[in-house]
Amino acid sequence: MTSAEALDVRRLGRVSYRGCLEQMRALVDARAKGAIRDTLLLVEHDAVFTAGRRDAAEDLVDTSIEVVQIERGGRITYHGPGQLVAYPIVALEGARRDLHAWLRLLEDVIIDTLSRWTLVGRRDPKGTGVFVEDRKIASIGIAVRRWISFHGLALNVTTDLDAFTAIRPCGFDSDVMTSLERELGAAHTPTLTEVGDVMATVFAEAWV
């Protein structure tokens, strides 16, 4: 079976977070029943702040903003225009029932994607996510239900980094955040579609 046959890649474009969350949960149930294949959603969200199970009150700098509480791991983060968000809804079966290995695979997908634009991504030994030198370019937060993984990763492409000043993203100071645009310069920054196409290929090769 080829990666294209084993993985259903759905490019949803720009969608609201709450609507996508409802769709994601429905897909988890469908995958658990064997009604669908492993699925990768690629989306861009309208501006939203989300907080996972490790949410901490001190991470909210601007208390006037709305925060969506969700079931994924991790702390508070921002999603918005210019950010590529990837949600793998996949069955962690057999030897793949290893959440640490799953998180490392997602980091590898980001690192390999960045390498296509000559950026060197690295892990942070203190937590999940991917950095370029000491600047954080991608965040990861997952949930698992009946050994179906959902939620996923967010890679800043042309994201408005000022949006992160309302929070302490994943517990970091907001000035740690970066994007492909900041690292490469606007003239050399790929489109969200181009990055999504590369990430879909990288993920399929890593997963299948």
The DSSP result for the chain, as a single string, is: --HHHHEEEEEEEEE-HHHHHHHHHHHHHHHHTTSS-EEEEEEEE-SEEEE-TT--GGGBS-TTS-EEE-SSSS-EEEE-TTEEEEEEEEE--GGG--HHHHHHHHHHHHHHHHHTTT--EEEETTEEEEEETTEEEEEEEEEEETTEEEEEEEEESS--GGGGGGB-GGGS-GGGB--HHHHH-GGGPPPHHHHHHHHHHHHHHHH-
170 noted as active-site residue:
yes
Active-site residue (options: 9, 167, 170, 202): 170
R_g (Cα) of the chain, nearest Å: 16
Q: Which residues are catalytic?
A: 170
